[in-house]
Amino acid sequence: MGLVERTTLTPMIEDVDDYRPGSRWGFAVDPDRLVASGVIYELIGVGDAIPLHRHAVDEVVLVLEGTGEMTLGDSVRQVEGGATAFIASGTVHGIRNTGTAEIRYVAIFPSTNVVDMEMLARIPAPGTEDRPPRHTEWNMQTGEVRVTSSRDIGRMSPWFLFPKGRSTSICPKTMRAFTP
């Protein structure tokens, strides 16, 4: 029932698994914590890609503008502005911008408390090429995020807690809260 009036988009430069200086994104959850859904807004830079990953929750992706190549399971499809992808939980997916302009992209995680994301590929930050992909859990109601290496999955510890009672949005990579 809350309203996030504006989601601040930040450069994707702080995640060692998904380092894309040409792309920006932001994350919004209900600041009142009554609706357990989350939305990712993203501008995918020319030539950039969201690495292949999967999670244990359904996702709906809206490609608002741009041209790309989307992987959905074993299928690779060309997509452009106006496309909608319905991604079942557990499905490997990702998208690469193959066009000449940014892709405007919205991902919606409906009716869930936790998005459990397993990175299957990396776009490594400089100097981190030898590291394994990490495992991430996002709690859509509390904003808590847990990040571990793939070999540490059973020993997770909280990494960030969304500030309670603020009309804010958060960047899922930096997990920093922003007030519009």
DSSP three-state, residue 90 = coil
Calpha distance 128→130 (Å, rounded)? 6
Query: According to DSSP H, which parts of 23-127 are helical?
Result: none
Residue 89, number of CB atoms within 10 A of its CB? 13
Write the CATH number for 26.
2.60.120.10
DSSP three-state, residue 150 = helix
Domain encompassing residue 133: 10-178
**Percent of the chain at pLDDT above 90?**
41
At position 115, the amino acid (one-letter code) is V
pLDDT one-digit tens code per residue, 58-104: 999 999 999 999 999 999 999 999 999 999 999 999 999 999 999 99
pLDDT one-digit tens code per residue, 4-17: 889 889 898 877 88
5 within domain boundaries: no
Does 156 score more than 50 pLDDT? no
- pLDDT, averaged across the chain: 79
* Cβ proximity of 147 and 136 under 8 Å: yes
User: What is the number of domains present in the chain?
Assistant: 1
User: What pLDDT is recorded for position 141?
Assistant: 66
2 within domain boundaries: no
- The pTM of this model reads 0.77
DSSP three-state, residue 117 = strand
132 within domain boundaries: yes
Q: Which of 1-5, 24-28, 71-75, 141-145 shows the highest mean pLDDT?
A: 71-75
Calpha distance 29→9 (Å, rounded)? 14
Least confident of 4-18, 19-33, 130-144: 130-144
User: What pLDDT is recorded for position 38?
Assistant: 85
